[in-house]
Amino acid sequence: MSNSNNDKGLNEYEVVLKNMTEKLKECQNKNSINSCIKCDKIIGCKIRNRYVKAVYDSMNKGQSGGFEF
């Protein structure tokens, strides 16, 4: 987990989300796309799956159940 000055004030879930967002964007840039929907590897993509989980975890702060989108 990163402890840079940019991460000050972020909770652990927000830090993970920030890191996963960077990895997702790197992958999109590498593949010259701006959306995972345009990628033929979207089904089963580990990076995207981790990103989606990080988004969910950051929204519910790790609590299971009871969260509605």
Residue 23 maps to a domain: yes
Residue 20 maps to a domain: yes
Range of the domain at 31: 10-60
Residue 67 maps to a domain: no
Residue 3 maps to a domain: no
Tens-digit pLDDT profile for residues 44-63: 999 999 999 999 888 887 66
Residue 24 maps to a domain: yes
Residue 33 maps to a domain: yes
Residue 5 maps to a domain: no
The model's pTM: 0.75
**Residue 65: predicted pLDDT:** 60
Would the pLDDT of 37 be above 60?
Answer: yes
3-state secondary structure of 42: coil
**Residue 2: predicted pLDDT:** 45
Domain count, the chain: 1
Residue 16 maps to a domain: yes
Would the pLDDT of 11 be above 90?
Answer: no
Burial grade of 19 (CB within 10 A; 0-12, 13-18, 19 or more): middle
Name the residue with higher pLDDT: 10 or 16: 16
